[in-house]
Structures are given as C-alpha cells and as structure tokens.
Amino acid sequence: MDVVIYTRVSTEDQKEHGFSLQDQERRLREHCRKMGFNIKGHYQDNYSGKDFNRPEFQRLLGDIRSKTVSVSLLICIRMDRFSRNLENSLSMIKTLRSFGVELFCLEQNIDLDSPESIIPYVLNMLLPQVENERRGLNTKQGLRQAKREGRWVARAPKGYMNDKNSKTVVLGKDAQFVKRAFQEVALQIVSVDQIRLELIKEGFKCSKQQFYNLLKNPFYTGYIKIEAWKNEKEEIVKGLHDPLVNEQLFSKVQEIFRKGRMKDVRPSKYNDKFPLRGHLICNQCGNKLTASSSKGRSKHYSYYHCQHGCNERHDAIGANQEFSDFLKSFSISDEVVELYNEILADVFKEKEGTKEENLKSFIEQIKVLTEQQDSLDNRFLKGDLSSEDYNRINKKIKENISSIESKVKELEQQESNLERHLKIGLSIMRNVSYYYEMCDIPIKQKIVGSIFPEKLIFDGKNYRTVRMNSFIELISSKSKGLGGHKRKQVTKSSDLSNMAPPLGLEPRTP
C-alpha cells in the first residue's frame, strides 16, 4: 500500500510533552516497514495545530490534489499531530476522503466499521482542542497575573526595550521622542499630528494611530493597564519599570484629548470668522462685544458689535486683519534674547543642574557599580559566595548598570530642558504672528488671552488695552516705555481717558 507520513511539532508540544520530529518519523517508518507500506512522501511542520494553514500540510494537500503523489493512506502518530480543532479535523478528513485518502493514527486509532465507534473517534479529535484551549486559558491567566505583579510580559512599548538578560523592560532609544511628544502636546501650540511628523523627521518611526495610542497609555507613567476580561474589571497597577513622564504631565495630555471630544462649548465661540470674540470690549460702554453674521443681497457680512444700546460695530474681516498686523509689529531685540538666555541658564542651573553635571553623576554611579561587580567576581572566585548568591547579586548589579546606561544615552541624545524651553519659547515670542495665523480658533483665543490679560478696545484702526502680559511687556520693543501703574477698569460712567493706551501700542491720545 502506498502511503504518506506526516509529523508535526510546536514549541509548546516540545516543552510539555517531549515530542520531537525525529522520534515521530522513526516510529512511523518502523510501523510502515512492519506493515509493508510503501512511503511515497514525508511531510513535517513546525507549526501550531489550531488550523491547517501550515506550509508542509498545504504542500501535501496540493500534491494529493494534483496527483503528484497517489496514496490511499495518510499516517501520523496521533490525532493531535494531525489537528487540535474538532471542526477543522472533520472538514479535512472529509476533504482527504474525497481524494480517496484515509487518515490513520498510530496511537488511538479506532475502527469505524461499527457505528458506536464514531463516539470515541470524535472524542479523540475533540480532546486536543480542549487541551489547546485550556493551555491558552492558563497562559492568559498567567499573563494577567504577571501584570498584576507589575511585570510587563509582552513586547515593550515605544520608548522602552525588552532586556533579555534581566527579563525586564528598560528605557530604549526612542525614550527621548516619546517624552518630547507628551511635553509638546501639553503646550498646545501645534496639532498632535504636526508634532508626530516633526519627530518623524528627526528619526522617530510611528504611525498616526500608534502615536495617539501611546499618548493615552498609562504605561509611560510607570503603571500597567489590565484590560477587563470576563467578570474581571479593568485594573491599573503600579509597574516595576521606570516611568518616562510624570503623572501631572500625563493627566494634562489626557485632559486635552477629553476636551477635544466635549460638546459643552457653544459652536459660535469657535467660529472661524470671530477669533477675537470674548476679547473685545465696547469703546463706549465697556461691555463685551459679541459677534454675528447677517445676510446681505449677495453675501453674508460678519461683525463684532455691542448689544447694550451702543452703535459700535466693526467689520470682522477688517478687525481680524488689523489685529494680525498688530501682532506682526511685536519684536524682540538680540540684546534682550541674549539677556533672557543668561537669566534662564542661571535659573535652570540652580533648579535642575546642567546636563554635564547629570552625566557626571550617572557615570560615577556606573563606576561604583562596576567596582561592586569586580569585588563580587573576586569573592566568588575565592569561594566566599555560593553560585546562587553570586547570580542573584550579579543580576541586580547588571540591571542597575543597564538602567543608568539607558538614562545616559537618553541624556546625551536629547536636548536639555533649558535648550528645549529656549527653542520653543523664543520661537513663539519672535514669531507670535506666525503661530497665531497657523493655529485653530481655540488656540488663537488662548494666544490673545495670554498676551492681553485685560480686554482689548478697537476703534476701527488701532487696538489698545489696559494691561499686557508683564513678561511680554518687559521684553517686547512694541511695548517699550509701558508704565507699571494700574489703570481703572472701564465702566459705563468711567472717563474714557482712563483707557488711554500706553506708549508703544499706538499713537498716544492728546
């Protein structure tokens, strides 16, 4: 009789049952020799038995279909070598029979001549599936328990890497990019995707969805999220890995995402036509100007106007353009920038320490740990330590060295906080009009509110205000000569001369 033999093994099979391809092949060939069977082919897979998408089995099926091999029997050691899924097993047996091929198992084989024998035959096919599903269930429960203990048992998220020696998760080469992502999203200067694209230019590889997911992952604060499963609720547990960002920064980023989904703000507040809505007050009565559009004969006209009986009304397009031009007039001299750099350098040096000092500290820590490791080696060679104690202490020292080396690498690659703050801060201050034009309406309103804590008055040509942001007032040449005295807040009965603009914002009123 012409036959083919099939052998299969997987990592789990080798670990739990001691199966090997060599032993299966030996036993099958010995059986065929005793029975006088002619082996026309041997097919073997190193794949899971949960389905038949295995390279060698598919080749076997193709050879049978094309009659490359013409056989009447397919022999394997036992049913679980053939398949670990009852439905798939029955379907494949039916397919093989359609080509005139029967399945024979060296172990657990049952003669189907009797109808009652179908029951144990099906049970033999079902048991591997039960075993496989039980193994999967145990694995899942084990992984969830490992997470509860703070251990990350999967591939490390971006910014971290798996340490094969210590079987822990440590900071990786992308840590600097992930940290910057959180910091820059929290600033709300540009969109989240613009930040991602900028980081990609610098070497960070991350898809759009992956980027959004990592910004919402509590793993970066040192915690592990355990998803809800069956009757178990979702859990957030403290992990054993080092956090990459603090909880305050993470919470701020989550709040930004939540606000992006909220519907508690009236659409009119964020109408693209009215970026100054809420920041302008009436030149006559001092109340806030509202904004609206009206339909003319051929188009809509948009205005900022007063609702308290005054006749003040300004064309929105003209008022918006005048404000943009007004922002362009702000400038910072090189002397001020240089002084600003020196002041910030002193502040950061005092509070955080310089990059060089931090690096020196890390290198000193590595030196101490290396000396400890040398001492440990000497003690072990002298016989003062058992192998168990040596391995335990040596593993801990290596973990500490690896963690510090990751911090050194991150510190060497990334900009210091001082450099980053200077770059972002000075860029905004020197190009405030550019950022204003590029941002969406909510951010434009934040920029206006940051520069002008008090409301603005527009007379149709010029803007003026009671008070500017004290920092911008100090460094900007536009506000040169501004006095520090307080002015009265405008009211219906107040003298408008109290709102006289400070020197530098517009020609002074006589």
CATH no. for residue 216? 3.90.1750.20
Summarised one tens digit per residue, pLDDT across range 338-350 is 777 777 667 666 6
- Tell me the mean pLDDT in the region 140-151: 83
- Tell me the mean pLDDT in the region 456-460: 84
Model pLDDT, residue 379: 86
- Tell me the mean pLDDT in the region 255-266: 58
251 shares its domain with 276: no
What would the two tokens of residue 136 be? 């999967």
434 shares its domain with 491: yes
- Beta bridge mates, 503: 506
CA distances from 73 to 62, 76, 99, 450 (A): 15, 10, 11, 82
Q: Does 362 map to a domain?
A: no
- Tell me the mean pLDDT in the region 8-26: 73
Look at residues 261, 288, 304 and tell me which one is the last residue of a structural domain. Answer: 261
pLDDT at 46 over 80: yes
239 shares its domain with 165: yes
Cβ 84 vs Cβ 49: under 8 Å: yes
- Tell me the mean pLDDT in the region 410-436: 65
- Tell me the mean pLDDT in the region 144-156: 85
Model pLDDT, residue 509: 38
What is the CA angle 266-272-278, rounded to 5? Answer: 55
Model pLDDT, residue 114: 58
Look at residues 210, 237, 261 and tell me which one is the last residue of a structural domain. Answer: 261
256 shares its domain with 271: no
308 shares its domain with 240: no
Look at residues 220, 241, 261 and tell me which one is the last residue of a structural domain. Answer: 261
Q: What's the pLDDT band for 481 if we cut at 50, 70, 90?
A: very low
Q: Of the ranges 282-291, 316-325, 340-349, which one carries the lowest mean pLDDT score?
A: 340-349
129 shares its domain with 25: yes
Q: For 164-277, list the strands marked E by DSSP.
A: 168-171, 223-226, 235-238
Q: Of the ranges 34-43, 193-202, 377-386, 409-418, which one carries the lowest mean pLDDT score?
A: 409-418
Q: Does 402 map to a domain?
A: no
What would the two tokens of residue 288 be? 């806030």
Q: Given phi > 0 = left and psi -120 to 50 = alpha, else beta, which region is 196?
A: alpha
Cβ 301 vs Cβ 294: under 8 Å: yes
Q: Determine the structural domain holding residue 189 and report its residue range.
A: 153-261
Q: Does 412 map to a domain?
A: no
Model pLDDT, residue 490: 36
Q: Of the ranges 45-59, 312-326, 334-348, 472-486, which one carries the lowest mean pLDDT score?
A: 472-486
Share of the chain above pLDDT 90, in %: 20
| Listed ranges 37-51, 124-138, 386-400, 414-428; the one with the highest mean pLDDT | 37-51
Please name the amino acid found at residue 203.
Answer: G
Summarised one tens digit per residue, pLDDT across range 348-365 is 666 555 677 788 888 899
Q: What's the pLDDT band for 459 if we cut at 50, 70, 90?
A: confident
Q: Does 104 map to a domain?
A: yes
CATH no. for residue 80? 3.40.50.1390
pLDDT at 486 over 80: no
Model pLDDT, residue 75: 94
- Tell me the mean pLDDT in the region 52-59: 92
pLDDT at 502 over 70: no
The residue ranking higher by pLDDT, 218 or 298, is 218
Q: Does 506 map to a domain?
A: no
Calculate helix-pair angle for 86-98, 118-148, nearest 10 degrees. 140
Model pLDDT, residue 250: 92
**Number of structural domains in the chain:** 3
Summarised one tens digit per residue, pLDDT across range 94-137 is 899 999 999 998 887 666 555 556 677 677 767 776 777 777 77
Model pLDDT, residue 11: 65
26 shares its domain with 96: yes
**Cβ count within 10 A of residue 385:** 18
Q: Does 147 map to a domain?
A: no
130 shares its domain with 231: no
243 shares its domain with 275: no
28 shares its domain with 106: yes
Q: Give the β-pairing of 223-226 and 168-171.
A: unpaired
Q: Does 379 map to a domain?
A: no
Q: What's the pLDDT band for 426 if we cut at 50, 70, 90?
A: low
300 shares its domain with 430: yes
Q: Does 160 map to a domain?
A: yes
Cβ 506 vs Cβ 463: under 8 Å: yes
The residue ranking higher by pLDDT, 139 or 107, is 107
Mean pLDDT of the chain: 78
Summarised one tens digit per residue, pLDDT across range 270-285 is 677 888 888 888 888 8
- Tell me the mean pLDDT in the region 238-251: 90
> Distance between CA 112 and CA 488 in Å, rounded?
102
Phi, psi of 91 (to 5 degrees): -65, -45
> Distance between CA 419 and CA 180 in Å, rounded?
12
Model pLDDT, residue 112: 54
The residue ranking higher by pLDDT, 346 or 29, is 29
pLDDT at 65 over 60: yes
Which residues, in sequence order, are CB contacts of 145 under 8 Å at separation 6+? none
- Tell me the mean pLDDT in the region 9-34: 78
170 shares its domain with 79: no
The model's pTM is 0.38
